[in-house]
């Protein structure tokens, strides 16, 4: 819909109170983390209505998938939620493998899980840095990036890329892990265990931060379920929705970890859930890193993969929540239809619900705890 048409009916609305005014937050605004546009109706400082306007970075990934082969689709998913690109790749690979009833080696499963958890930590590090920046503590950004950099270095050595990793392929992973991988991951785990308490000292315990977060942006468990919230947003409201726990995939059934749950449902709860998740991811990595089974790093597939006719669905837990991949195959080398159920889209849909009544500062802080990645919303 053209911009102008959308705006006009609201300015001539008879119910429009004289004190209220519109403000256009984005698409180029530092707090929207990308090209998200928010139409705010504000009374002074108080938010009356938030309307997210999406589509500024829509690249028709789902349509492009219909054109591409199954190996190529994997690479497109990097560009959705670029902060958990490995897990996105894994979701597509698992779907294809399930459809082909392909049993991948144990080694692949363990490698995928370790790198997936490292990705989750890297994503949460970035989120933590940006979260601090959104509430005005600029220093956190650099601390988060310091630790994320170590993970990126590990990825660079093994996968050859730092952000869009393309490490998974249907049937396994592209290369075997680098000889340094195990040692560097262990070093990182040791390093990061001393750094999460530092995060707490710098930001979590700060009285201003607590005041900004506690009791702000409250989302009840019922609303979380009805809005389809997933990931830390849902778990912050006490909604047990960890796909890793309920529908384990790869090597996640072999490890023991706790689902991070908080019942308060406010911004602080969502924040704490992510900090707890970093600890849990560290424990998962620790359980797996010492016993990566020997064996092949992939099984051979046909050069042209053709899925049997039918519908396939696989969900995984990305750093932001539940990513579902739904594929319809007619037996050709391309899928007939691919649909991604992205966590970002359902999480942004509840922004209006939890931000109304707060101040502009609250909106920014609440949006930061939703941890939105705009290319994941728009695809």
Partner 1 sequence: MNISLSITKTIHEWLFSIMSETAASITEMILIATVYLAVFAVFGLYLVLLERKVAAWFQLRLGPNRVGFKGLFQTMADALKLVSKELTGTVKADKFLYNLAPYFVIVSALMALAVFPFTQEFQAFDINIGIFFLIAISSIGVIGILMGGWASNNKFALIGAMRSGVQTISYELSVGLSLLTMVLITGSLQLSEIVEVQKSGWLIIQGHIPAIIAFMVYMIAGTAETNRAPFDMVEAESELGAGFHTEYSGMKFAYFFLAEFINMFIIAAIATTIFFGAWLSPFGITESIPWLGVFWFLGKTLVIVFLMMWFRWTFPRLRVDQLLTLEWKYLLPINLVNIVIMAFVVWQNLIIQL
Question: Is 361 an interacting residue with respect to partner 1 (CB under 8 A)?
Answer: yes
Spatial distance between the Cα atoms of 207 and 196, rounded to a whole number of angstroms? 18
Pick between residue 202 and residue 345 the one whose CB is nearest to partner 1: 202
Q: Is 135 in the site for partner 1 (CB under 8 A)?
A: yes
Residue of 138, 256, 300, 303 that binds partner 1 (CB under 8 A): 138
Distance CA 325, CA 136 (A): 37
Q: Work out whether 134 is an interface residue with partner 1 (CB under 8 A).
A: yes
211 binding partner 1? (CB under 8 A): yes
Per-residue binding string, partner 1, 44-83, x by CB under 8 A, is -x--------------------------------------
Which span (56-64, 111-119, 202-210, 346-354) binds partner 1, by CB under 8 A? 202-210
Q: Is 206 in the site for partner 1 (CB under 8 A)?
A: yes
Answer for which of 8, 16, 30, 331 binds partner 1 (CB under 8 A) is 30
**Within 157-196, which residues bind partner 1 (CB under 8 A)?**
none
Cβ of residue 346: shortest distance to partner 1, in angstroms?
24
* DSSP E strands, the chain: 20-25, 37-43, 46-53, 168-169, 172-173, 310-317, 322-329, 337-341
Which residues, other chains included, contact 175 with Cβ-Cβ below 8 Å and sequence gap of 6+?
158, 159, 160, 167, 297
Shortest Å distance, C-beta 135 to partner 1: 4
Q: How far apart are CA 212 and CA 350, in angstroms?
A: 19
Binds partner 1 (CB under 8 A): choice among 208, 295, 311, 331? 208
Which of 37, 120, 212, 262 binds partner 1 (CB under 8 A)? It is 212
Consecutive H or E run containing 13: none
Find, among 267, 228, 103, 224, the residue nearest to 172 by Cα: 103
Q: Are 39 and 53 in contact (CB under 8 A)?
A: yes
Residues 89, 97: Cα–Cα separation, whole Å:
12
Say how far residue 100 (Cα) sits from the centre of its chain: 27
Q: Rule CB under 8 A: which residues touch partner 1?
A: 21, 23, 29-31, 45, 132-139, 141-143, 146, 202-203, 206, 208-209, 211-212, 359-362, 364
């Amino acid at each position: 819909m053209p911009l102008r048409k959308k705006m006009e009916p609201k300015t001539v609305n008879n119910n429009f109170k004289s004190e209220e005014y519109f403000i256009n937050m984005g698409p180029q605004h530092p707090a929207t983390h990308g090209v998200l546009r928010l139409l705010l109706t504000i009374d002074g400082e108080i938010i009356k209505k938030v309307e997210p306007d999406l589509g500024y970075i829509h690249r028709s990934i789902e349509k492009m998938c219909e054109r591409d082969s199954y190996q190529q689709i994997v690479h497109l998913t990097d560009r959705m939620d670029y902060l958990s690109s490995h897990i996105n790749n894994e979701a597509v690979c698992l779907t294809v493998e399930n459809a082909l009833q392909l049993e991948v080696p144990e080694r692949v499963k363990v490698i995928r899980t370790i790198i997936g958890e490292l990705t989750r930590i890297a994503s949460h590090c970035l989120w933590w840095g940006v979260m601090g920046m959104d509430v005005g503590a600029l220093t956190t950004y650099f601390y988060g990036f310091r630790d994320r950099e170590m993970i990126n270095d590990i990825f660079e050595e093994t996968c050859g890329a730092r952000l869009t990793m393309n490490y998974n392929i249907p049937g396994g992973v592209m290369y075997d892990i680098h000889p340094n991988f195990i040692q560097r991951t262990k070093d990182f785990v040791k390093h990061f265990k001393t750094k999460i308490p530092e995060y707490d000292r710098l930001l979590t315990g700060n009285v201003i931060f607590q005041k900004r977060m506690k009791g702000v942006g409250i989302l009840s468990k019922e609303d979380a379920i009805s809005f389809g919230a997933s990931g830390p947003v849902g778990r912050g409201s006490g909604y047990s929705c960890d796909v890793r726990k309920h529908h384990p995939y790869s090597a996640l059934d072999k490890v023991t970890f706790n689902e991070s749950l908080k019942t308060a449902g406010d911004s602080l709860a969502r924040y704490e859930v992510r900090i707890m998740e970093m600890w849990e991811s560290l424990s998962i990595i620790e359980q797996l890193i010492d016993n990566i089974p020997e064996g092949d790093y992939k099984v051979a597939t046909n050069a042209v993969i053709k899925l049997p006719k039918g519908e396939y669905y696989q969900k995984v837990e990305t750093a932001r929540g539940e990513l579902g991949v739904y594929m319809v195959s007619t037996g050709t080398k391309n899928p007939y239809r691919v649909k991604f159920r992205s966590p970002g889209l359902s999480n942004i849909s509840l922004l209006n619900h939890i931000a109304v009544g707060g101040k502009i500062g609250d909106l920014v802080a609440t949006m930061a705890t939703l941890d939105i990645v705009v290319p994941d919303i728009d695809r």
